[in-house]
Structures are given as structure tokens and as C-alpha cells.
Amino acid sequence: MSTTLLLIQLLNGLQLGVLLFLIAAGLTLVFGVMGFINLAHGVQYMIGAYLVVWFYGLTGHFMIALVLAMAVALALGLLLEAFVFSRLYDRDHLDQVLATFGVILFVNQGVKVLWGPTPLTIPAPEILAGTFQLTENLQYPVWRIAIIAIGAAVALLLWFLVTRTRLGMLVRAGASNAEMVGALGVNIRRLFMVVFGFGAMLAGFAGAIAAPIYSVEPGMGDDLLITAFVVIAIGGIGSIRGAFIAALLVGLVDTLGRSAVTDILKLFLEPSAANQIGPALASMAVYVLMAAVLFFRPAGLFPARGAA
């Protein structure tokens, strides 16, 4: 593998990692603070993507569409919280898994009814739509770089919110011991709602900025959700810092693994055999990483302090 190829794969890995982080941030807080397993979090990602395509069709302007999509994703997240999820906090995890899985089926079918089963696409915003020349025969889309920058900015913002504000303090306290925070007179239900809505909006935001790269189709969030769970397990449940580092780690391992594993196998296997085995092994790489991390640190890399 040449150095340019390696550089590109690093960029691709970072970009995937940033998207994973935006999804995992909400997921880890919801899981950490509320102990609530929300399989339907990937649905928010899909909703964000569909909304941005829809608003883009109406307004013809990507940035306006993005803002509108985030607002509606937030509203939908809060609605789901109020009408469905809030009833599940006191139930056990199996009930939560079943109910939120039902939400996935319902919403996936819903977008199919509204927008049809065929994939939709949306162009990147005009100023960021170009490519820049990386090497003589290789261009790299500016939008992917923009995603990395946006993701890093959101991560900084989140870090500030969580470590430097009163709300963030309550969230951290909630992740460590929700009952104690409630006993101290904090309205824990409202805190849950804020965290949930914010997480839903972040996932919607991830879907919206990913829409110009991937195709927008029913069920698009489901695969990423599984990887996002891997991220929060590696990072430590309830930890934003852990989610950030784990997301970048997973993004890099997944992307580099996909190109490197087959090449490495080719050194000591027939090319055709390497081509057969390589992709299978590469898709296992992130799970191997998770197993390794959990073996040495069962609570993840950065567990929320004092959490049981």
C-alpha cells in the first residue's frame, strides 16, 4: 500500500469515525444516564437524512434544509420520548429492546410509504461540492473533509457542554448515579428528556451530513447502529470522551482493515483465496477490537466515574 493510499484511508477512517461519534454520543448518554437501551437510535439517523432531502427539495438550499432537518429531528425525538420511550424506563431491558425494535420496523415502513422504497440522493452544498487534487491521479471530495471538521467541532462543543456547564454536570452525575441525583432534588425526568432530544438531534444531524455521500434509503441507520453499540462498549458507557476516542478507533480499524487484511493475506495465500477470506475477516475486525478492549478493561476505555 502506497503512502497516498494510506493517507486517504486515514481520512476515510476519520470521516467514518466522526459519523459514528455523532450517533454514539447520543446513544451513550441515553444508555449511561437512563440505563435505557434504544435500538431505535439508528432510526433518528435515517430520519435526519430523509428530512434533509425533503427540505432540500422544498427550499433548494442545503444549509437551510440542514437547520430545518435538525429542528424537526429534535421535535420527533422528543415526541417519541414523550409517547413511547418514557413509558419504558422502568421496564426491564428485554421490553425496551422489543419496543424499540418495533419502532424501527414502524419508522422504516413509514419512510417507505412517504418517500418510496428506492434510494434518494442529494448533492453536497455548492461551496463544498468540489474535489481537491491529492495526487496526480487522485482527487478527494471536499465534503468528506468538511464532515471531519464539523465532527471535530461538535465534539469540542459537547466536551464544553458536558464538562463546563451546569447541565453537563447533572448529566455526568446522572450517568454515575441517577437515583442519587434525583434524591438531591433534580428533576431527573426532565434531564432525561433533554438528553434524549439532544441525542436524537445529533443522530439526525449525522444522517443529514452523511446524506450527500451515501444513498438515503429505508433501514440505512440499522447497520451503523450496531457499530455505534460497539463504539459505546469500547469507549465506556456514559462517557462522551470514550465515545469520541472509540469512534475514531473503530472508524480507522474498519476502514484500514478492509484494505489491509486482503493485502496481508495475499502475501502468503493465493490471490483468489485471499479475496475470498479477506473481506470476511475485515468485517470482523471491529468486533475483535471490542473483544480485546473488553478483555483488558471490562468497563470500556473511559467508564463513567462511579458507575456500577
Partner 1 sequence: MKNLLISSAAALALLAAPAMAAETLKIGMVVTLSGPPGALGNQARDGFQLAMEELDGKIGGMETELILEDDELKADVAQSKARSLVERDDVDFVVGTIFSNMLQAIYKPVISSDTFLISPNAGPSTFAGRNCNPDFFVTSYQNNQNFEVLGKIANEKGYKRVFMLAPNYQAGKDSMAGFKQNYEGEIADEVFTPLGHKDFSAEIARISDSEADALFIFMPGGMGVRFVKQFSASGLADKMAFLSAFTVDETTLPAQKDDAVGMNGATNWAPDLDNEQTKAFVAAFEEKYGYIPGGYAMQAYDTAMLIDSAVSKAGGVEDRDAVRAALKEADFQSLRGDFSFNNNHYPVQDFYLLEVVKRDDGKYHTSIIEKVYDDYADSYAEQCEMGG
**Is the CB of 278 or the CB of 303 nearer to partner 1?**
278
- Residue 3 binds to partner 1 (criterion: CB under 8 A): no
What is the maximum span of the chain, computed from C-alpha positions, in angstroms? 66
Residues 100 and 120: their CA atoms lie apart, in Å, by 25
- Residue 271 binds to partner 1 (criterion: CB under 8 A): yes
Which listed range, 162-170, 196-204, 233-241, 257-265, lies at the site for partner 1 (CB under 8 A)?
257-265
The footprint of partner 1 on residues 169-198 (CB under 8 A) is none
Binding residue count for partner 1, defined by CB under 8 A: 44
Dihedral over Cα of 214, 215, 220, 223: its sign: negative
The footprint of partner 1 on residues 13-42 (CB under 8 A) is 15-16
Which of 35, 168, 182, 219 binds partner 1 (CB under 8 A)? It is 219
Residues 250 and 180: their CA atoms lie apart, in Å, by 34
The footprint of partner 1 on residues 279-298 (CB under 8 A) is 279-280, 283
Which of 120, 186, 194, 269 binds partner 1 (CB under 8 A)? It is 120
Residues 39 and 228: their CA atoms lie apart, in Å, by 10
For the bound state, the minimum distance from the C-beta of residue 191 to partner 1, rounded and expressed in Å, comes to 34
How many CA atoms, within 13 angstroms, populate the side-chain half-sphere of residue 12? 15
The footprint of partner 1 on residues 69-98 (CB under 8 A) is none
- Residue 117 binds to partner 1 (criterion: CB under 8 A): yes
**Is the CB of 130 or the CB of 306 nearer to partner 1?**
130
- Residue 163 binds to partner 1 (criterion: CB under 8 A): no
Dihedral over Cα of 84, 85, 87, 93: its sign: positive
**Is the CB of 86 or the CB of 259 nearer to partner 1?**
259
Which of 59, 121, 163, 187 binds partner 1 (CB under 8 A)? It is 121
Q: Which three cell numbers stand for residue 156?
A: 469540542
Cα torsion 93, 104, 43, 29 to 10°: value is -10
Alpha helices in the chain (DSSP H): 3-34, 41-59, 62-83, 93-115, 142-164, 166-176, 178-183, 188-210, 220-235, 240-268, 271-296
For the bound state, the minimum distance from the C-beta of residue 42 to partner 1, rounded and expressed in Å, comes to 12
Residues 107 and 84: their CA atoms lie apart, in Å, by 13
- Residue 59 binds to partner 1 (criterion: CB under 8 A): no
- Residue 140 binds to partner 1 (criterion: CB under 8 A): yes
Q: How far is CA 43 from CA 17, 57, 189, 272, 278, in A?
A: 19, 21, 23, 38, 31
Residues 249 and 258: their CA atoms lie apart, in Å, by 14
Q: Which positions lie near partner 1, rule CB under 8 A?
A: 2, 4-5, 8-9, 12, 15-16, 112, 117-121, 124, 131, 137-141, 143-144, 213-215, 217-220, 223-224, 255, 258-259, 262, 271-272, 275-276, 278-280, 283
